[in-house]
Structure 1
C-alpha cells in the first residue's frame, strides 16, 4: 500500500481524522466541528493531521491515496429542520399518505406509553405541507399494468403550481412504481426539462419497495436534505481537489460501505447515520483480524451513545428506519442510539425530584462547564473530572486545561437541589449514564435473541473507554477491546478508511411457496446485473455480489433476511432456504415460534454489490515482559471508586508507552492523547499484538 488512507468523521462536537500510513502507522487528529459550515472543520482537521506528519496541507493531500468521508450534514439538516422547500407529486387521490402515517406515528415499541396512549403522542410537524402536494392522474396496478394512463398535461400543470410556490426540490412517488417505473420516469423528465436547477428524487430510483408511506417518506426526506447535502459534498470535493487531492472522494454510507461522491450527491439519504455505522465497519475489520465473530460496538462521543451488533462476522442490518418520527425504507446497518455522551447534561427533574442525565447535550458550543467556553450546566465530563478520571492539567494530551473549580461549582449547585454531596452527585451522574448505556445494549442484544455474554465489547469514541468497565460488567461481558489505543477516540474515522465500496439493490416480488426457482433466479439475476453495472461504471476491481431474500410466514408481517448462495437457484436450494428461515426466525422470536405447516412468502430480493478499496494494514508486534516500564508511569492521583465509596491514590499510566505484553491491574487509569481508560478494582488491562487495549473484567 502506497500513500495515505484517510478517514474523516464529523461528530456533534469534534471532527475526527484517522490517517493510515503505508507501514500501518495510524496518525489521528481532531478539530472542533463548525456548524453550520462543516467543511471548515474538515479543512481544519486535515491541516492538523498534516502538521502532525510535518507536512504542508498541500503536500499531505497530494500524497493521499484515498479519502473516505462520513458526513452528518443530512442528519443535522433534519434535526434543525433547515432543509429545502419540497413539493411532492403523487398519484391523484393519495395525496395524504405522508400525513396519515402509520398508527404508531413513528414511535417505537420502546416508547409504548405514546404508542398505546394517544394523548401522550403527537404527529411531527409536516415535512411537506398539504399545499405543496399535488396529485397527478395516473395509476399502475399491483402487477405493473397501466390502469390509468399518465396525463402529461395535468402533470405539467401540477408542476407549475408547485414552482409558483417556490419549491426548491421535488419528490415523486406514484403508486406501484416499483413494479413499473414508466410514469415516474416521465414525470422526472418533465421536472428536469422545466426546472433543471431543482433537486429531484423519484421513489423508483431510491427505494423500489412496497409500503406507500415509507417509500413516500424516503423520497421526501431525500429531497428535503438533497440541496444542502449535495451542495456540501460538491463543495468539499472541490475544496479537496484545490488542496491537491487527486483521487475520487468516497462517502461512507449507512449500509456499511462507501459510495462515490456522485452517488452521495444523488442519494444523500444514504449518508444518514453513516458516521456511527463507520464505527461498526472498523470494528468488523478489526474483529476479522482478531478472530472475533461476535462483537458489541459501543461509541460514546460528546453527544450520543451508539450501539451496533456484529454476529457471526456480519453487522446486524435493518431495512426500515425512523427519523423525527418519520419511518422510511433504506437498507442500513442497525444502530441503536441514546442521548448519553460526555456532553450530556445532568439536571434536577422538578416533577420527580430525581437526577436525570441526557438526552440534552451541551454540544460543541458551549460544551461542558470544565471546558471554560461558557457552559453552566454540569455534564458527564464534568462529573468524570471531579471523580478523578481526568487530569485537569493534562487533558487531550495537554492540548487544553480543564476548569475543575467551575465543574465543581456546577455539580455542587445541582447536588444541593438533590440533597447530595458534590461527589455523591458526580458519582450518580456517572452511574446513571452507565446504566442507561447498559440498558440500550440489552435492547440491542437480548431483545434481538442474543446473549451479551457471548460477545466481546468494543469501546470507542472519546468517552467510551472511560465508562465501558462499568456498563460492560453490568451486562456480564468479560472482555472489552479499546481499538488501537488513542485511535479509539476517532474510531469512526478509522472505520471510514477501512470501508469497501458497497451498493445495495432491492426489488419486491411477492412469491408464495412452493417456490419457482426459475422465477426467483430471474429477479436475483436482474439485481446482480444492476450491481455489477454500477461497480464497472465506477472502475471497481474485484467486484463481488452477495444475494439474499426476505421471507415470512404467509399472512404475517415479520420478514427475515436469508442469504442465498448465488443468483441461480435450483429445486435443491429451496428446502435449505426454508430451514435457514425457520432457524433465524426462531432465534429472533423464540424457540417454537415458527410454523412449518404454513406457507412461506418471498417478499424482497436483494443484492449487495461490493468491491475492495485500499485497506489499512495493522502490523503485529513481539510481546514485552508484563511489567510496564517506569517511562509509562505518570504521577498517581486520587480517584473516587464506587466500590469503596471513597477516593483512593491510584496509579496512572501513559497509554502510548504501554506495549504488547504489558499488563496493568486495577484500580488504575490509562491515558492517551484523546481518550482515557478507567480500570476498576478487580479488572486488568493488557496490550495485544495489534496494539489494542484488552480490558479483562473478571
Structure 2
C-alpha cells in the first residue's frame, strides 16, 4: 500500500512483530509503504519476509535501505513461556535464597490458591545458585575479600551441570563493582563461551530482590536474544540488506544490536513501547496531551495512560510475567483481548472472551484454516462490520458463513449452554464481554490511579482497535477517539518516531542535606561519560546528543522513592531538590512533610541521540461532504445482545477521504489494515494529518 505522507531523510523501515501479524512500514522521501504478514514461530523469518516484500512494493533495492527499526517480543515470550538459557547464579554467602524469598509478599494478598511466579517457576533453580565468600559494606567498603578459588569452583560445578549463562549478584555491588567485575573476568578467562551478567552492569541500584531478579532474567535471556539477533542479521544479509539495525527498548528508545544482545532485559515490552510512541506522536500532532492508548491486535490489547505527555513509569513498579524488575519501561498494561480472542463458556456456564486466541494460524473461523471456535473477528464479520472484499485489501479470502457457523454451533446450539437465540445476539455479546474487559483494564490504569478518563482522548489502533474504541469510550464517558492513518501498522510507525535512548543509574543512599555537591558532580559526570561513550559507538552526531539528569528521593523511613529532575549543584541545590520532591509527593499522594528529613537514593542519567525524522501525513483538503469516498451501503448490527438493532449504513473508503470530511454514524470506514466503526450518535472527522477523530454527540 502506498500513500504520500512523509518527507524524512533516507530510507527507513519500521517492523513490529506481534503475536498474530508482523507489521512493516517503509518511508522513502515523501512516500510510505506498508505491508502485513503473519508472524512466524521464528520471528526473524516474518521480519525479513515483511521487509523484503515492502521493498518490492516500493520498488526499492535492499541495499538502498539505510535503517531498520525493530520492535520484538523475543525476550517477552521467552520469559512468559518459561524458556531461555539454563541459568546459574553466584551470590554473596548467606544470600542464596533472595530470589525465592522475595519481599515475602504474594501477588494477591488474600488468595489462598495462587501461584507465586518467582517460586513456582524460578528464574534460577536453587541447586544452580552458588554462594561465594565476599562482602562489601553498605558504603561500598570491602569487608571480606573475594575468594577467587570459590568463584572458580562454583563456576565449574555450574558448567558441569549444563549451565549456559551466569548471573553475578553480590551484596551492595551497586556501590562497589570490583568483586563482580573480577568474578566476570575469572569466569570468562576459564569459560569463554559462558554468558555472564553482573548486576552492577545490568542495574546498579539499591534493592536486592529486584536487582537479583532483573539480573537473573537478563542472564537467562542473553543467549536467546543474541542467537535471535545473529540469525536476523544473517537473514538480512542473505537478502542483500546492509542497513543499520536498531531495536526498540522498554523505555521507548532505540538501542544498538550489540547493546540489546548484552541487555535483553531492556526489551521486555519492546513491541508495545512502540505503540506508546505512536500514540504520543498522534496526540502531539493534534494538541492532545492527555491520552489513553488502546492497541488491540490479533492476540492482545495493550493499554497505556499518558498524562501530560509523561511516558515513563517508575521502574520499581515494573512486572513482566509476574517477575518484578527495575528496568525502566513505559507504562503499559496488557490483557488477552484481540481480534483472535475466542468466545467460550466455562464449566459454570459463564461466558468468556479470551485470553486464549486463535492467533494468525489457524486464525478466526472465517479464515477457513480449520478453527471452529468463534472469535471477536468472527463476531464483527457476522454483524456486517468487516467487509470480506476489503479486509487486508482483499488479499485474504474470508468466509462469513464459517463465522456464522462457529457462533451458531458453539454459542447458540448447545442445549446445556444455549444463551443466545441468534448468531447476531451471540456476536454482540462477544463484543460486549471483550469491550468490558478492556474497559475494566483502562479504569484500573486511570480511575484507580487518580486519573479522570473523561479528561483524556483515546488513541485507538491495531487491526481491531478502531472497531471497539467507540464502545469503550461510551463506557468510560470519553468524548473523543483518535484513529491514526493505517492503524493496523501504527506500532511499526511508532518505531520511526523514536530516538536512541540509554538509561544509567547509581545508588547514593544518603541524607540529602549531607550529600556533597562535588561527589554528586563527579558521579553524574561518570554516568554522562558512559552515555557519551555509547552514543559515540552508535555513531550519532554529537550535535544530536542530550542528557537528562534526575534523582530519586524519599522521606527517611519510606519504602519507595520519587524521581525528580536535577539541574546541577549551583547555589542552594539541596533546597531545590527538596522543593521538587515535595511538589511531586503532594501531586502523587496529596500531601508532603515539611520538616521530615529527605534521603537521596539514586542518581539517574538518560542519554538520548536524536535520530527521528518522521513527518506526519498531510491529505488533500476537502469539505464536509464525504460522498465521493462512499463505496456502498450495507446491513450492520448495533445495539446490545438483548436488543440488536439492524441498520443500513454507508461504507467509505478511507483512502478516498479528504481533510474536513465529516461522517455521521452509523457508518463504516474501510481500509487496508483495519476497519473504523462509527457508532450511532458519533461523528467522524478527517484531520489534516489523515487521522480520523471520532466525537460523541451531545
TM range (shorter): over 0.9
Change (3 A) 1:569 1:445: farther
Greater mean alpha carbon deviation, residues 249-258 or residues 403-412:
403-412
> Is 2:362 aligned against 1:360?
no
- Deviation of 1:608 (Å): 0.8
TM-superposition CA deviations, 1:644-673 (whole Å, max 9, x none): 622111111111111111111100000100
- For residues 207 and 247 of structure 2, what CA distance do their matches in structure 1 show? 28
| Corresponding residue number in structure 1 for 2:248 | 252
Greater mean alpha carbon deviation, residues 415-424 or residues 333-342:
415-424
Structure 2 residue corresponding to 1:8, chosen from 9, 15, 18: 15
Structure 1 residue corresponding to 2:594, chosen from 581, 590, 596: 596
- Deviation of 1:6 (Å): 0.8
> Is 2:555 aligned against 1:577?
no
> Is 2:653 aligned against 1:654?
yes
Decide whether the 8 Å contact of 2:390 with 2:672 is kept in 1: no
3-state DSSP of counterpart to 1:514: helix
| Corresponding residue number in structure 2 for 1:419 | 419
Greater mean alpha carbon deviation, residues 607-616 or residues 282-291:
282-291
3-state DSSP of counterpart to 1:396: helix
3-state DSSP of counterpart to 2:513: coil
3-state DSSP of counterpart to 2:289: coil
- Deviation of 1:142 (Å): 0.6
Task: Give the superposed CA RMSD.
Answer: 1.8
Decide whether the 8 Å contact of 2:390 with 2:671 is kept in 1: no
| Corresponding residue number in structure 1 for 2:179 | 183
Structure 1 residue corresponding to 2:58, chosen from 53, 59, 62: 53
Decide whether the 8 Å contact of 1:30 with 1:48 is kept in 2: no
Question: What does 1:302-341 align with in structure 2 at a 5 Å threshold?
Answer: 302-320=298-316, 321-341=318-338
- For residues 54 and 540 of structure 1, what CA distance do their matches in structure 2 show? 29
Decide whether the 8 Å contact of 1:347 with 1:414 is kept in 2: yes
| Corresponding residue number in structure 2 for 1:111 | none
TM-superposition CA deviations, 1:89-112 (whole Å, max 9, x none): 11121111111123234x2xxxxx
Question: What does 1:101-116 align with in structure 2 at a 5 Å threshold?
Answer: 101-105=102-106, 107=107, 114-116=108-110
Decide whether the 8 Å contact of 2:13 with 2:51 is kept in 1: no
| Corresponding residue number in structure 2 for 1:506 | 505
- For residues 619 and 43 of structure 1, what CA distance do their matches in structure 2 show? 26
Decide whether the 8 Å contact of 1:515 with 1:574 is kept in 2: no
| Structure 2 unpaired stretches of 5+ | 1-7
Decide whether the 8 Å contact of 1:115 with 1:121 is kept in 2: no
3-state DSSP of counterpart to 1:333: coil
| Corresponding residue number in structure 2 for 1:609 | 607
> Is 2:220 aligned against 1:219?
no
| Corresponding residue number in structure 1 for 2:693 | 694
Decide whether the 8 Å contact of 1:517 with 1:569 is kept in 2: no
- Deviation of 1:46 (Å): 1.4
> Is 2:548 aligned against 1:546?
yes
| Corresponding residue number in structure 2 for 1:618 | 616
| Corresponding residue number in structure 1 for 2:37 | 31
| Structure 1 unpaired stretches of 5+ | 108-113
3-state DSSP of counterpart to 1:288: helix
- Deviation of 1:619 (Å): 4.5
Greater mean alpha carbon deviation, residues 162-171 or residues 279-288:
279-288
Change (3 A) 1:537 1:254: same
| Corresponding residue number in structure 2 for 1:229 | 225
Greater mean alpha carbon deviation, residues 574-583 or residues 491-500:
574-583
- For residues 331 and 14 of structure 2, what CA distance do their matches in structure 1 show? 21
- Deviation of 1:125 (Å): 1.8
Change (3 A) 1:516 1:151: closer
- Deviation of 1:502 (Å): 0.1
- Deviation of 1:234 (Å): 1.6
| Corresponding residue number in structure 2 for 1:555 | 557
Question: What does 1:368-407 align with in structure 2 at a 5 Å threshold?
Answer: 368-407=364-403
- For residues 189 and 575 of structure 1, what CA distance do their matches in structure 2 show? 43
| Corresponding residue number in structure 2 for 1:62 | 63
- For residues 113 and 683 of structure 2, what CA distance do their matches in structure 1 show? 50
Question: What does 1:158-307 align with in structure 2 at a 5 Å threshold?
Answer: 158-307=154-303
- Deviation of 1:261 (Å): 0.6
Aligned residues, how many?
677
Greater mean alpha carbon deviation, residues 639-648 or residues 94-103:
639-648
Decide whether the 8 Å contact of 2:312 with 2:328 is kept in 1: no
- For residues 660 and 515 of structure 1, what CA distance do their matches in structure 2 show? 60
- Deviation of 1:526 (Å): 2.5
Normalized against structure 1, the TM-score is what? 0.94
Decide whether the 8 Å contact of 2:221 with 2:265 is kept in 1: yes
Decide whether the 8 Å contact of 1:168 with 1:199 is kept in 2: yes
- For residues 631 and 456 of structure 2, what CA distance do their matches in structure 1 show? 33
- Deviation of 1:558 (Å): 2.9
| Corresponding residue number in structure 2 for 1:680 | 679
Question: What does 1:56-135 align with in structure 2 at a 5 Å threshold?
Answer: 59=61, 61-105=62-106, 107=107, 114-122=108-116, 123-135=119-131
Change (3 A) 1:316 1:478: farther
Decide whether the 8 Å contact of 1:90 with 1:136 is kept in 2: yes
Change (3 A) 1:280 1:697: same
- For residues 584 and 43 of structure 1, what CA distance do their matches in structure 2 show? 45
Decide whether the 8 Å contact of 1:67 with 1:497 is kept in 2: no
Decide whether the 8 Å contact of 2:364 with 2:377 is kept in 1: yes
Decide whether the 8 Å contact of 2:552 with 2:562 is kept in 1: yes
| Corresponding residue number in structure 2 for 1:489 | 488
| Corresponding residue number in structure 1 for 2:5 | none
3-state DSSP of counterpart to 1:440: helix
Decide whether the 8 Å contact of 2:251 with 2:312 is kept in 1: no
Greater mean alpha carbon deviation, residues 63-72 or residues 96-105:
96-105
TM-superposition CA deviations, 1:134-171 (whole Å, max 9, x none): 11111111111111110011111111111111111111
Greater mean alpha carbon deviation, residues 517-526 or residues 316-325:
517-526
- For residues 483 and 42 of structure 1, what CA distance do their matches in structure 2 show? 23
- For residues 649 and 427 of structure 2, what CA distance do their matches in structure 1 show? 18
- For residues 372 and 398 of structure 1, what CA distance do their matches in structure 2 show? 15
Change (3 A) 1:288 1:573: farther
Normalized against structure 2, the TM-score is what? 0.94
Greater mean alpha carbon deviation, residues 42-51 or residues 337-346:
42-51
